[in-house]
């Protein structure tokens, strides 16, 4: 819930849970490496991946 005077949208932050079944795929370590290679944050990479997914899925409609 936003604090008084905070005009941000309620969904401006998300948290991602990596299921145990996927944990052995080293998701966070792989993201860290990609971020270092591209000089980008993990957050940037994740947001870009989400946007690409949404664009791809919305084109299917």
User: pLDDT (tens digit, 9 = 90+) per residue, 9-39?
Assistant: 666 888 999 999 999 999 999 999 999 999 9
Q: For residue 38, tell me if it sits in a domain.
A: yes
CB 57 within 8 A of CB 49: no
Give the range of the structural domain holding residue 53, as residue numbers without chain letter.
23-59
CA distance 21 to 29: 16
Q: What pLDDT sits at residue 6?
A: 61
What's the pLDDT band for 61 if we cut at 50, 70, 90? confident
Q: For residue 32, tell me if it sits in a domain.
A: yes
Q: For residue 37, tell me if it sits in a domain.
A: yes
Residues 6+ apart with CB under 8 A from 40: 34
Terminal Cα-to-Cα distance of the chain (whole angstroms): 33
Structure pTM? 0.73
Q: What pLDDT sits at residue 13?
A: 87
Provide the domain count of the chain. Answer: 1
Q: For residue 11, tell me if it sits in a domain.
A: no
């Amino acid at each position: 819930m936003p604090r008084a005077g905070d005009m941000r949208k309620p969904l401006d932050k998300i948290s991602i849970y990596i299921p145990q079944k996927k944990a052995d795929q080293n998701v966070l370590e792989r993201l860290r490496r990609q971020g270092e290679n591209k000089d980008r944050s993990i957050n940037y990479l994740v947001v870009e991946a989400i946007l690409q997914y949404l664009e791809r899925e919305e084109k299917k409609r």
